[in-house]
Amino acid sequence: MDRFTGNFTQQEPIPEEGIEAAVAAMRHGRLHRYNVVPGEEAEASLLEQEFAALVGARYCLAVASGGYAMACAMRAVGVTVGDRVLSNGFTLAPVPGAIASLGAEPVFVEVTEDLTIDLDDLAAKAASSGAKVLLLSHMRGHVCDMDRLMQICDAAGVLVVEDCAHTMGAEWRGVASGRHGVMGCYSTQTYKHINSGEGGLIVSDDAEAMARAVLLSGSYMLYARHAAAPPPEAFADLKWDTPNISGRMDNLRAAILRPQLPLMADRRARWRERYVALEAGLEGTPGLRLIPRPEHEAYVGSSFQLLLPGWRPDAVQDLLARAAARGVELKWFGAAEPVAFTSRYDSWRYAPAQSLPRTDAVLAGLIDMRLPLTFSVEDCAQIARILRAEVSAVWQAGAL
């Protein structure tokens, strides 16, 4: 029986150019983004300009993490203590955590079998909750019908802040993910699409919201040093009443990230090849449902999900054990207790208890797998063969 020996959490190395830029920053020692000599432009400011150009945004701000980006963006559009904020019932812990960090309350929206936010439930809760903001998580890279989502939110007067931790480089109908809402937030944490260990980016075309975000991020009164920020006039009134909540990105991380931006298109293509190899190898396996990818979605396949609809928990557990024995590391969103990075809305007990029966049914059979670019296309075909065999074995023994 073949066994897969790859490491599911091993990302590619930092490009040599990034290593050299990082070493240069350490040699001169000016790691803080506002520590520049005359005529020098900070790496952080250069990164902001380059990322804004990449996604076609007017403004960009680099910050300390993806979680910080979401909290900062929500605060910049007016979320405050006691507010209710709509968000996905199916997402990861930093999303409700960002809402909670503002003293606001998440109102969770159901997920569909295609792993996108349930737009009917969203429309109902946009009307009933009193929320003025949706923190939309493009969880695991699955992008919903963004045209319909924006119609629903615009009609209800709900502002959209996008969590693009899994969709940097993705598009809906040719528009970059993160460019539909008022602000788009990205993570540059090691497991995402560009890697600086930790880090985050915010983009927007809204001058007032971005000026607030820059001030919030801890710009002191040095906002004029942000080349991808709104002009100084935009800060004139805001600077008096916007608190400094330090969460800046430093020049070392920015130096590591800049050479990764031009690689994004190639990374997307390589991720897609791997994703498609897995998908092809699993097609038609009895007992298993693959997630359809809509025609208008240009996705980055940095992870892979599949559904085991109606499977008993012990049958799912059996599959996880069999796959693990053959070197294939699966995560399950249906487990009773949160494990490692995988947790569920009902384990975020700081939020008011909510009932999401459709989400419960989907998560009960949801299997998740990372797909690092260090895997070859042949590795992905091998993983698919192993999974196909083990799913079939458990299915034939009776999984329902």
- Amino acid identity, residue 208? E
Q: Which of 61, 74, 85, 92 binds ligand PLP (CB under 6 A)?
A: 92
What is the Cα–Cα distance from 262 to 189, expressed in whole angstroms?
Answer: 18
Total residues interacting with ligand PLP, rule: CB under 6 A: 15
Of 67 and 259, the one with the shorter C-beta distance to ligand PLP is 67
How far is C-alpha 55 from the geometric centre of its chain's CA atoms? 15
Q: Hey, CA dihedral for 261, 265, 270, 276, is it positive or negative?
A: positive
Least distance CB 224 / ligand PLP (angstroms)? 27
End-to-end CA, the chain: 26
CA 168 vs CA 102, 142, 221: distances in Å: 25, 12, 30
One DSSP character per residue, 326-338 reads: TT---EETT-SS-
With binding defined as CB under 6 A, does residue 85 bind ligand PLP?
Answer: no
Q: Of 44, 51, 104, which is closest to residue 75 (Cα–Cα)? A: 104
Of 106 and 200, the one with the shorter C-beta distance to ligand PLP is 200
With binding defined as CB under 6 A, does residue 67 bind ligand PLP?
Answer: yes
Question: DSSP class of residue 234?
Answer: G
What is the Cα–Cα distance from 24 to 43, expressed in whole angstroms?
Answer: 11
With binding defined as CB under 6 A, does residue 196 bind ligand PLP?
Answer: no
Least distance CB 302 / ligand PLP (angstroms)? 10
Of 67 and 372, the one with the shorter C-beta distance to ligand PLP is 67
Of 137 and 195, the one with the shorter C-beta distance to ligand PLP is 137
Residues 99-138 that bind ligand PLP (CB under 6 A): 137
Least distance CB 43 / ligand PLP (angstroms)? 19
Residue numbers annotated as active site: 192
User: Which two three-digit tokens encode residue 376?
Assistant: 């070859």
Q: Which of 87, 91, 285, 342 binds ligand PLP (CB under 6 A)?
A: 91
Of 66 and 184, the one with the shorter C-beta distance to ligand PLP is 66
CA 208 vs CA 142, 151, 182, 239, 374: distances in Å: 30, 23, 11, 11, 41
With binding defined as CB under 6 A, does residue 287 bind ligand PLP?
Answer: no
Q: Of 73, 81, 139, which is closest to residue 108 (Cα–Cα)? A: 139
With binding defined as CB under 6 A, does residue 342 bind ligand PLP?
Answer: no
What are 172's strand-pairing partners? 175, 297
In this chain, which stretch among 25-33, 59-67, 79-87, 313-321 interacts with ligand PLP, using CB under 6 A?
59-67
Binding mask 147-176 for ligand PLP (x = CB under 6 A): ----------------x-xx----------
Q: Which residues bind ligand PLP (CB under 6 A)?
A: 65-67, 91-92, 94-95, 137, 139, 163, 165-166, 187, 189, 200
